[in-house]
């Protein structure tokens, strides 16, 4: 079970900070919807849709910029500052009187989250360097997200029976401040500056370049397209499926969403043991195909009018389990594909690029269901998920070893990085755990002696892998 990792004091406090902040975020989600209704009435859906688009744009654009600007700061300082900023926004939201003010505050809030989350994620593999412990931590993180989606609405309902929705924002602020206090109570490792040269633009885009140059990370990005396709169908259209398709009430909507969450939680609990026997690739690729197959089955059932309540719950549980099987090991793949001093940039790129897919799938799920029908929406999203799975299968090398032979053509022969290297046509050949970094700009092709280094020589730096 993943809970044994909580014996580590530093991680225990970081996990508590994450869990408390997530509860606060869940309260804010409920309160924001009620605030939008107060401000816009029947147009509240349009307000929330715009706020969601702002959130995704902040995740896509702000995260890497904030990470590049803050990489010289103490991680603890950055995390605490972002928690305080989020708490200030939460306290300001009850006082807004115009819709545009909501958009501005949501932009600030989500920009702070876009800086906080990748920095937090990049610190965990250094706090828990053992792979088994890190895998358990990823499972706990996935559980925290799923429990938040299940528990926060219930907590909000209890509070709303006692106080006005404005007080939910106070609960949100308390959650963020409690998170800041817990982060202050621990000491986090500060990574060395990343090797290589380059200005602020190079620092901002470094994570994207690392991500897109690594075959397994390109495949991971496609896995997240499959996740985005399935999640969009669940989040956007569950209420329509339950109310209009099955004629059930609001309680059934919560049960259906709960089935998706329970499926994801089940996967998170089982994965630490499963990943001792299987590789990340052997777990994640079948899960991506399951997402496509599950939505194809949904489309067929909707087209033939055979979708029942039990069938919907079964499909949502399947989609939840497959989603959890992709999201839980994601941190392992990113951590294994980046040097410690590049992890903040790599996690920022992962955070931005994976959320970018929702700018495609959320509108597709809603617009297709409204303009055509639910079966058409499910069919298109099934095709997207299936295409992502097939392309990911091609992109992710079957023999994805950590140690990769490669040739350096532009390093000096006496460079410390070449200790033990052998002469090769046009350079020096050796092998080690390979990641894209300042010394390795290109992924070596199998069986090729093409050089992996960049067009200019980078100085050997502490932290470069040997």
Output the CA–CA distances (angstroms, integers) from residue 79 to 14, 97, 148, 396, in the order listed: 11, 30, 20, 33
Spatial distance between the Cα atoms of 321 and 260, rounded to a whole number of angstroms:
7
- The per-residue DSSP string of 21-57 comes to HHHHHHHHHHHHHHHHHHHHGGGHHHHHHHHHHHHHH
Output the CA–CA distances (angstroms, integers) from residue 382 to 227, 282, 379, in the order listed: 11, 21, 5
Least confident of 157-161, 273-277, 445-449: 445-449
Spatial distance between the Cα atoms of 209 and 138, rounded to a whole number of angstroms:
25
**Greater model confidence, 339 or 300:** 300
Least confident of 178-182, 333-337, 403-407, 446-450: 446-450
Residue 103 is encoded by which pair of tokens? 């958009």
Q: Which is nearest to 225 in space by CA: 59, 332, 117, 358?
A: 358
CA 206 centroid distance within chain:
18
- Residue 115 predicted with pLDDT over 90: no
Output the pLDDT for position 182. 94
Query: 68-77, 87-96, 135-144, 411-420 — which one is most confidently predicted on average?
Result: 87-96
Q: What percent of the chain has pLDDT over 70?
A: 88
User: CA dihedral defined by 248, 251, 256, 258, rounded to 10 degrees?
Assistant: 180
H-state helical runs in 241-357 = 250-274, 280-304, 309-327, 330-336, 343-356
pTM, two decimal places = 0.79
**Greater model confidence, 38 or 314:** 314
Q: What's the pLDDT band for 313 if we cut at 50, 70, 90?
A: very high
Least confident of 21-25, 79-83, 294-298: 21-25
- Residue 410 predicted with pLDDT over 50: yes
**Greater model confidence, 451 or 196:** 451
Spatial distance between the Cα atoms of 14 and 6, rounded to a whole number of angstroms:
10
Spatial distance between the Cα atoms of 102 and 411, rounded to a whole number of angstroms:
53
Over residues 294-323, mean pLDDT: 95
Output the pLDDT for position 455. 46
Q: What's the pLDDT band for 197 if we cut at 50, 70, 90?
A: very low
Least confident of 35-39, 218-222, 346-350: 35-39
Q: What would you measure as the largest C-alpha separation in the chain, in angstroms?
A: 76
**Greater model confidence, 344 or 246:** 246
Work out whether the CA dihedral 196, 343, 67, 204 comes out positive or negative. positive
Output the pLDDT for position 306. 93
Output the pLDDT for position 463. 35
Spatial distance between the Cα atoms of 346 and 328, rounded to a whole number of angstroms:
17
Q: What's the pLDDT band for 460 if we cut at 50, 70, 90?
A: very low
**Domain annotation for the chain: domains and CATH numbers:** 1-190 (1.20.1250.20), 206-399 (1.20.1250.20), 401-466 (no CATH)
Output the pLDDT for position 418. 85
- Residue 201 predicted with pLDDT over 90: no
Output the pLDDT for position 462. 33
Direct distance between the N- and C-terminal alpha carbons of the chain, in angstroms, rounded to an integer = 34
Output the pLDDT for position 319. 96
Which residues are CB-contacts of 370 (< 8 A; sequence separation ≥ 6)? none
């Amino acid at each position: 079970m993943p809970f044994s990792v909580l014996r580590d004091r530093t991680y225990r406090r970081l996990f508590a900070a994450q869990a408390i902040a997530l509860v606060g975020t869940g309260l804010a989600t409920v309160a924001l919807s009620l605030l939008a209704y107060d401000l816009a009435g029947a147009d509240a859906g349009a307000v929330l849709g715009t706020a969601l688009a702002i959130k995704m744009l902040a995740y896509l654009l702000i995260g890497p910029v904030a990470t590049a600007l803050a990489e010289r700061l103490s991680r603890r300082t950055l995390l605490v500052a972002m928690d305080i900023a989020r708490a200030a926004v939460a306290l300001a939201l009850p006082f807004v009187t115009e819709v545009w003010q909501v958009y501005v505050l949501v932009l600030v809030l989500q920009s702070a989250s876009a800086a906080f989350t990748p920095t937090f994620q990049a610190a965990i593999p250094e706090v828990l360097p053992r792979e088994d412990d890190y895998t358990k931590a990823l499972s706990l993180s996935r559980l925290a997200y799923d429990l938040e989606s299940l528990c926060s609405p219930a907590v909000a309902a209890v509070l709303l029976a006692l106080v006005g929705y404005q007080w939910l924002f106070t609960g949100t602020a308390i959650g963020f401040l409690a998170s800041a206090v817990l982060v202050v109570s621990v000491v986090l490792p500060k990574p060395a500056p990343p090797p290589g040269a380059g200005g602020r633009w190079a620092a901002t885009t470094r994570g994207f370049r690392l991500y897109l140059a690594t075959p397994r990370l390109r495949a991971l990005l496609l896995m997240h397209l499959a996740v985005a396709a399935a999640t969009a169908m669940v989040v956007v259209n569950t209420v329509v499926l339950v109310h209009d398709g099955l004629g059930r009430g609001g309680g059934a909507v919560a049960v259906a969403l709960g089935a998706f969450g329970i499926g994801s939680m089940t996967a998170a609990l089982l994965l630490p043991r499963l990943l001792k026997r299987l590789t990340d690739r052997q777990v994640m690729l079948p899960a991506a195909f399951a997402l496509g197959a599950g939505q194809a089955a949904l489309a067929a059932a909707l087209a033939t009018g055979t979708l029942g309540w039990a069938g919907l719950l079964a499909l949502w549980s399947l989609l939840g389990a497959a989603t959890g099987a992709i999201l839980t090991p994601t941190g392992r793949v990113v951590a294994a594909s980046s040097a410690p001093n590049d992890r903040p940039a790599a996690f920022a790129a992962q955070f931005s690029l994976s959320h970018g897919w929702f700018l495609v799938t959320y509108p597709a799920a809603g617009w297709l269901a409204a303009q055509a029908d639910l079966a058409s929406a499910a069919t298109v999203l099934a095709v997207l998920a299936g295409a992502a799975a097939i392309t990911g299968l091609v992109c992710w090398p079957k023999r994805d070893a950590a140690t990769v032979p490669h040739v350096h053509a532009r390093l000096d022969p006496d460079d410390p990085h070449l200790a033990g290297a052998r002469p090769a046509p046009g350079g020096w050949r050796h092998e080690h755990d390979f990641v894209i970094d300042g010394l390795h700009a290109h992924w070596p092709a199998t069986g090729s002696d093409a050089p992996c280094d960049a067009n200019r020589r980078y100085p050997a730096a502490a932290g470069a892998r040997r």
